[in-house]
Amino acid sequence: MAELSIRGVRKSFGETEVIRNVDLSVGNGEFVVFVGPSGCGKSTLLRMIAGLENVTSGTISIDGADVTHADPSKRGIAMVFQTYALYPHMTVEENMGFGLEMAGIPADERKRMVRRAAETLHLETYLARKPKQLSGGQRQRVAIGRAIVRDPKIFLFDEPLSNLDAELRVRMRIEIAKLHADLGATMIYVTHDQVEAMTLASRIVVLRDGRIEQVGTPLELYNNPDNQFVAGFIGSPKMNFVPARVTGRTEDGAVKLAVDSLGLAEFAVMPRERNATMPETLSIGIRPEHFLPPGTDGAMDVSLGLGAVEHLGGVSYIYTEPGRDGSLTAEVRGLPGLKAGGLLPLAVNPDTCLLFSTEGARL
């Protein structure tokens, strides 16, 4: 278990700066998940924490000790990669024990440590097999086992489940959550998977273009994003952004809006700061899952023109005809007979809506 502190960290490859002044503290036993678009710097930041990539400026400390320039083997960190990176000619036992052997741990003690990790991961019966005799999920467990045996202070995972099929991903996700609970270790985990991020993280770090956009618990980011980027990135399907004109304020400070694309002449949404000044035009953020049946108490009725419909079984996704302001997505339950074309009556509760400036700041 360990604390990690990243202060003013930057990284350039030649002229290109890919990590731009990152500050982050990770507490003892936390499970922190990095998300962000492809190329935003997630792997680079993780590799800098591991010591696999030089830091251009700034400091990285573990338990108060500056490790910015320390050798990877001296940091007490273990990293698990998407590609497993197992040695094909070694057995599971040898793969898991290899790092210990390099560290000069005697054979009998090594065996004991590998057995213990194998038990944790239910790999006891596979110890004599080579990687090619294992399924993808078993190989990934071996890669995790190789990390566990070293009893690291911090685990780093770079998209460890991306090569697995959907069902196995769910099983491994639950195992990783269990492992975190059992070991109580500090873990940092990179993923593209919304569900992994929301379910595993004690806190999510949203990165964009080498910078941290927001750090918070999954529900903080979902309910109270700082800006349009985070609002659009967290949640699937993505939040809708609907242009609106500001027509005034109510007595209690809500912003009165005219929303042409939803046919709403007056829709009052509370801004984040009650007294903040409002621009003339802005965007309303509405999550697809926040569309309600028409006539719902406290909600305003709207009707959406049906462009396309996808039935997923329990829920259906409605896509409106892309108009001047783009297409909207609504998630609805039931309505199995729904077909494209025509209008679908729904409702929106202003309390579930967020406001953003045209530059993407939260209002």
Ligand X SMILES: Nc1ncnc2c1ncn2[C@@H]1O[C@H](COP(=O)(O)OP(=O)(O)OP(=O)(O)O)[C@@H](O)[C@H]1O
Residues of this chain that interact with ligand X (CB under 6 A) are: 13, 18, 36, 38-44
CB nearer to ligand X: give 36 or 131: 36
Shortest spacing between CB 180 and ligand X, in angstroms:
22
Shortest spacing between CB 159 and Mg ion, in angstroms:
6
**240: its two tokens:** 């809708």
Q: Residue 352 has what DSSP assignment?
A: G
Give the span between the Cα atoms of 146 and 84, in whole angstroms. Answer: 10
Whether the Cβ atoms of residue 5 and residue 188 lie closer than 8 Å to each other: no
Q: What string of DSSP letters covers 147-163?
A: HHHT--SEEEEESTTTT
CB nearer to ligand X: give 20 or 238: 20
Shortest spacing between CB 221 and ligand X, in angstroms:
18
Give the position of tokens 């099929």.
165
CB nearer to Mg ion: give 127 or 207: 207
Shortest spacing between CB 199 and ligand X, in angstroms:
19
CB nearer to ligand X: give 83 or 223: 83
Shortest spacing between CB 39 and Mg ion, in angstroms:
8
Residue 237 preceded by cis peptide, ω within 30: yes
Give the span between the Cα atoms of 246 and 265, in whole angstroms. Answer: 11
Strand partners, 212: 207
Give the position of tokens 């491994």.
172
Binding partner selected for residue 283 from ligand X, Mg ion, none, CB under the kind-specific 5 to 8 Å limit: none
CB nearer to Mg ion: give 50 or 328: 50
Binding partner selected for residue 87 from ligand X, Mg ion, none, CB under the kind-specific 5 to 8 Å limit: none
Helix (H, G, I), strand (E, B) or coil at 80: strand
E strand spans, 63-202 = 65-66, 77-81, 154-158, 186-190
CA dihedral over 6, 56, 144, 203, signed as positive or negative? positive
Shortest spacing between CB 79 and Mg ion, in angstroms:
12
CB nearer to Mg ion: give 43 or 261: 43
Q: Footprint of Mg ion on this chain (CB under 5 A)?
A: 43
CA dihedral over 184, 190, 196, 201, signed as positive or negative? positive
Strand partners, 362: 356
Give the span between the Cα atoms of 8 and 123, in whole angstroms. Answer: 41
Shortest spacing between CB 132 and Mg ion, in angstroms:
26
Helix (H, G, I), strand (E, B) or coil at 348: strand
Give the span between the Cα atoms of 361 and 350, in whole angstroms. Answer: 19
Q: Which residue is nearest to Mg ion (CB)?
A: 43
Helix (H, G, I), strand (E, B) or coil at 125: helix
Give the span between the Cα atoms of 17 and 141, in whole angstroms. Answer: 35
CB nearer to ligand X: give 20 or 249: 20
Shortest spacing between CB 42 and ligand X, in angstroms:
4
CB nearer to Mg ion: give 55 or 156: 156
Binding partner selected for residue 13 from Mg ion, ligand X, none, CB under the kind-specific 5 to 8 Å limit: ligand X
Shortest spacing between CB 196 and ligand X, in angstroms:
13
Give the position of tokens 């680079």.
44
CB nearer to ligand X: give 52 or 315: 52
Whether the Cβ atoms of residue 142 and residue 134 lie closer than 8 Å to each other: yes
